[in-house]
Amino acid sequence: MIKELKLPKMSDTMDTGQITKWLVKEGDFIKKGDPIFEMQTDKVNLEVEALEEGVLLKIVGKEGEDIPVGQVIAYLGDEGDKVSDIPAQPQEGQEKKQETEAKTEDVQMPKPSSAPDIQPEPTPDIPSMEKPKGDRIFISPRARALAQREKVDYSAIKGTGPMGEIIERDIKEYLAKSALQQPAPSKEQAVPSTAAQGQRIEMTGMRKVIAERMLASVAAAPHIYLTADIDMTQCRDMRTKINDSLADKGIKISYNDIIIKACALALKEYPYINSTLKDGAIILQDRINIGVAVSLADGLIVPVVRDTDKKTIVEISKEIKELAGKAREGKLMPDEFSGGTFTVSNLGMFDITQFTAIINQPESAILAVGAIKDTFVPVDGRPVVKPMMKVTLSCDHRVIDGAVGAQFLKFVKSMLENPLLML
């Protein structure tokens, strides 16, 4: 029996994936659990294992291409099955007929038909555009981001995705065919030959996804930024004592571990910071899962420490080190970088004093942490040098008012300036 092998959805935010390398070839017999291909998602690179066994009859998912979640990438069969037994597929670019009336997840394949006579056209037409039924327009996140970036009015573009959804390919075809109808630039418009010719690097994989996610976040969520100065004197002293007492066990906590614990306790007190806006409603999350931004060679990833409020500083430290190591080795599993409710991004190790971060959607806030600097501060009318740190909270103003964000920061500040309260 012929079985379809489809691109799996590895995270809640994943719309497409890219097969970077097939680990098997056509004709191979695949057992359940065998690694069959390497895939790059919007979050991480990973090996995908077979969920079924059979002979790999045909590979249709090409390496290096963006493939929508759920699209067929290969066919498996039993011993004796042939490639000719695979059902005919519509040609690339041909509109796929959707059986919208059937209440089933099975895709009905269109019956082969003779090709109609096609009259030559002098110039290509812009893709078919029809007004969608109803007020709601179905468009994938990647297509929406591309349309916004290229300033395309997608309200009248006819989607070719499931249930008539507008997908990224529809926007690209619209842009490509529209460009062909534009008049060639005149000599006055031509770029002078003396113009700088820099190196062109295509945005692919993780870098491309980060760009799209950040653009979508800024476009969707009105950000408000709140900054606080925190005296890290007692935090520094407590960290030194903890590290000295645990040195024989090879345990060393960082300032970031302590900051994350402080945020977890603050999120319990101010649940709106630990919320998500969904379908016009604010969802107060029942768990506190803090994501920690980790820099990679080709971008960044945010592994998640689950139930952070229930863990000690030492437990948080161990888990972060383990997750960060797996992230840099490309070995994170999907459940280790999904489900976050709040994010901490720390650039203090790069000697950055202060910065603002973009919210990691669908979360409602993110904390940007700067370096600890010896700074003169007034104490009883006299200048005293103290280790000071600036933190900036970015909030989705649709969900979080300035006063709530300020109270959250005040709580974080009180925890870090009196860290024994966290033990």
Residues labelled as active-site residues: 397, 401
State the alpha helices, DSSP H only, in 46-186: 141-149, 168-180
Return d(Cα 295, Cα 344) in angstroms, integer.
13
Strands (E), 318-413: 342-346, 365-379, 382-396
Beta carbons within 8 Å of 91's beta carbon, 6+ residues apart? none
Contact call for residues 367 and 415 (beta carbons, < 8 A): no
Six token digits for residue 92: 């690339």
Peptide bond into 127 cis (omega under 30): no
Return d(Cα 359, Cα 400) in angstroms, integer.
12
Helix or strand (DSSP H, E) at 318: helix 313-328
Nearest to 8 by CA among 76, 70, 72: 70
Nearest to 260 by CA among 339, 351, 366, 352: 366
Nearest to 105 by CA among 58, 70, 66: 70
For residue 70, count CB atoms less than 10 angstroms from its CB and return exposed for 0-12, middle for 13-18, buried for 19 or more. middle
Return d(Cα 159, Cα 173) in angstroms, integer.
11
